[in-house]
């Protein structure tokens, strides 16, 4: 299941403040069983120590074209790599790679490979938006280079804007999909994902909520975006995500239903990751309920079953995905929901297990397909789970396609 295990990855680190995050990328890759060969540019040495990277990677840091034990290190590294990732990639490295310059070990290795390349830019907003950088990125993309776009947030020197290196987990997910050969299998596919838990108001200040963090929904949305999909998230949570993903913010089950109804009819794939409240107060008190009025009696009524309604009116060829949070009879309950709601697949997790489900960074799931097949994905970070879910979505889409 883990597409990183036993794979050879060249991790290029260029000279930007985000170089420290490359250490975390390296650690996650090695933890997943990959062989990581690190290359640091001369400038990267100004930001992090090579000893740290050498200690965490699978071989010592390479920097020079000339003082390596091997006489032609760039061809050895470039030919042996199954994927090359550059994180962070500065404007200079991006420009050199786009122009085919090979003035140092990193750029020479990039030119000397036939492996997929993942570029993770990090720079100030003014640089990221400069026409030269914009056109270099477009050129690299047109050659099939995978770009993991920077996020918005705090930059070096305290500035705010787009240019911050993507999350290490998103970078690892992009490497993983590049290795699984599925990196653009959702090109142009319209994907709708719901994320987070709904909140049903009781009065002006109180709500009925649940523990969903939205992490799994966002991981799926980001993985779909990186595989080329046009992604919309209908979300109850405020989380940073990749540029290019549209977000519709909602709070209640009814608002989620209204937003989903706008997008679902024209979506190729709908993934209901959200934890939607099953019940809501019949009446919402306009002001705040005061303590001195005594313990309130709150009468609940069922909310609309969004996924059930989607299943009942599913356009042909749409892939509909549900989630099932269970504590008992996982497979049996999930299969029941799949049939009742007319789904193509359902992702079931045992939320009573350790480090699984709501709020955690990890999950362990069983993907049950309408064909009866089920795929168990052992405990992994939510980006790895997202890759497995999208691999199944992709398979169902291929099976739907007329021969």
Which one of 41, 176, 216, 303 is in contact with ligand CTP (CB under 6 A)?
A: 303
Is 274 among the residues that bind ligand CTP (CB under 6 A)? Answer: yes
Give the whole-angstrom CA distance, residue 210 versus residue 338.
Answer: 23
Nearest CB to ligand CTP, comparing residues 121 and 281? 281
User: φ and ψ at 307, to 5 degrees?
Assistant: -65, -40
Nearest CB to ligand CTP, comparing residues 24 and 305? 305
Span of 73-81, 103-111, 261-269, 301-309 interacting with ligand CTP by CB under 6 A: 301-309
Is 360 among the residues that bind ligand CTP (CB under 6 A)? Answer: no
> Which two structure tokens, joined as six digits, stand for 18?
């985000």
Output helix, strand, coil percentages for the chain, rounded to the nearest 5: 35, 25, 40
Is 272 among the residues that bind ligand CTP (CB under 6 A)? Answer: yes
Residue 337 Cβ vs ligand CTP, minimum distance, rounded to whole Å: 5
Nearest CB to ligand CTP, comparing residues 159 and 278? 278
Bridge-based pairing of strands 160-164 and 151-154 is: antiparallel
Residue 383 Cβ vs ligand CTP, minimum distance, rounded to whole Å: 19
Which one of 180, 305, 358, 375 is in contact with ligand CTP (CB under 6 A)?
A: 305
β-bridge mates for residue 348, sequence order: 324, 366
Catalytic residue among 2, 80, 210, 261: 210
The 3-state secondary structure of 208-274, one letter per residue: ECCCCCCHHHHHHHHHHHHCCCEEEEEECCCCCCCCCCEEEECCCHHHHHHHHHHHHHHCCEEEECC
> Which two structure tokens, joined as six digits, stand for 320?
């509909």
Nearest CB to ligand CTP, comparing residues 274 and 385? 274
Nearest CB to ligand CTP, comparing residues 120 and 276? 276
Gyration radius of the chain's alpha carbons: 23
Nearest CB to ligand CTP, comparing residues 127 and 351? 351
Using CA atoms, how far residue 76 sits from 11, 70, 73, in Å, is 14, 8, 5
Of 234-253, which residues contact ligand CTP (CB under 6 A)?
253
Is 278 among the residues that bind ligand CTP (CB under 6 A)? Answer: yes
Residue with tokens 């990677």: 57
Is 307 among the residues that bind ligand CTP (CB under 6 A)? Answer: yes
Residue 49 Cβ vs ligand CTP, minimum distance, rounded to whole Å: 46
Nearest CB to ligand CTP, comparing residues 226 and 307? 307
Which one of 15, 197, 322, 357 is in contact with ligand CTP (CB under 6 A)?
A: 322
210 belongs to the catalytic site: yes
Using CA atoms, how far residue 93 sits from 10, 41, 104, 117, in Å, is 15, 9, 10, 13
Residue 129 Cβ vs ligand CTP, minimum distance, rounded to whole Å: 37
Is 323 among the residues that bind ligand CTP (CB under 6 A)? Answer: yes
**Of the candidates 82, 93, 142, which has an alpha carbon nearest to the alpha carbon of residue 119?**
93
Residue 367 Cβ vs ligand CTP, minimum distance, rounded to whole Å: 13
Residue 39 Cβ vs ligand CTP, minimum distance, rounded to whole Å: 43
Bridge-based pairing of strands 207-208 and 146-147 is: unpaired
217 and 209 Cβ atoms separated by less than 8 Å: no
Residue with tokens 């990581």: 36
362-369, strands of its sheet edge to edge: 246-249, 230-235, 190-195, 269-272, 319-326, 345-350, 362-369, 374-381
Q: How many positions of this chain bind ligand CTP (CB under 6 A)?
A: 14
Is 324 among the residues that bind ligand CTP (CB under 6 A)? Answer: yes
Active site residue ranges: 210
Residues near ligand CTP, by CB under 6 A: 253, 272, 274, 276, 278, 303, 305-307, 322-325, 337
């Amino acid at each position: 299941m883990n597409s990183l295990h036993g794979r050879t990855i060249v991790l290029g680190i260029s000279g930007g403040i985000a170089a420290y995050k490359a250490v975390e990328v390296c650690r996650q890759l090695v933890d997943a069983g990959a062989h990581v060969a690190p290359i640091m540019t001369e400038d990267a040495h100004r930001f992090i120590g090579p000893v740290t990277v050498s200690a965490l990677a699978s071989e010592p840091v390479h920097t020079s074209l000339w003082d390596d034990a091997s006489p032609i290190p760039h061809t050895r590294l470039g030919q042996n790599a199954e994927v090359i990732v550059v994180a962070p990639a500065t404007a200079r490295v991006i420009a050199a790679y786009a122009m085919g310059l090979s003035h140092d070990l990193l750029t020479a290795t990039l030119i000397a490979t036939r492996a997929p390349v993942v570029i993770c830019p990090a720079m100030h907003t003014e640089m990221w938006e400069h026409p030269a950088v914009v056109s270099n990125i477009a050129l690299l993309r047109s050659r099939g280079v995978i770009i993991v776009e920077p996020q918005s947030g705090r930059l070096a020197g305290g500035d705010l804007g787009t240019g911050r290196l993507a999350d290490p987990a998103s970078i690892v997910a992009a490497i993983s999909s590049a290795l699984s050969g599925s990196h653009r299998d959702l090109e142009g596919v319209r994907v709708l994902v719901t994320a987070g838990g709904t909140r049903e108001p009781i009065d002006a200040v109180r709500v009925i909520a649940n523990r969903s963090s939205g992490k799994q929904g966002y991981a799926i949305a980001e993985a779909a975006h990186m595989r080329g999909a046009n992604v919309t998230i209908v979300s109850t949570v405020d989380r940073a995500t990749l540029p290019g993903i549209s977000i519709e913010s909602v709070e209640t089950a009814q608002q989620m239903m209204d937003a989903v109804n706008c997008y679902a009819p024209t979506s190729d794939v709908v993934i209901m990751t959200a934890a939607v409240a099953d019940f809501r107060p019949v009446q919402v008190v306009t002001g705040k309920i005061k303590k001195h009025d005594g313990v309130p009696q709150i009468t609940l009524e069922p909310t609309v079953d969004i996924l059930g309604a989607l299943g009942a009116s599913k356009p042909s060829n749409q892939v509909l995905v549900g989630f099932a949070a269970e504590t008992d009879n996982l497979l049996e309950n999930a299969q029941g929901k799949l049939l009742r709601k007319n789904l193509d697949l359902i992702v079931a997790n045992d939320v009573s297990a350790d480090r699984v489900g709501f709020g955690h960074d990890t999950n362990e799931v069983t993907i049950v397909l309408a064909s009866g097949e089920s795929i168990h994905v052992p405990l992994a970070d939510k980006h790895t789970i997202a890759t497995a879910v999208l691999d199944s979505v992709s398979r169902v889409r291929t099976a739907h396609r007329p021969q």
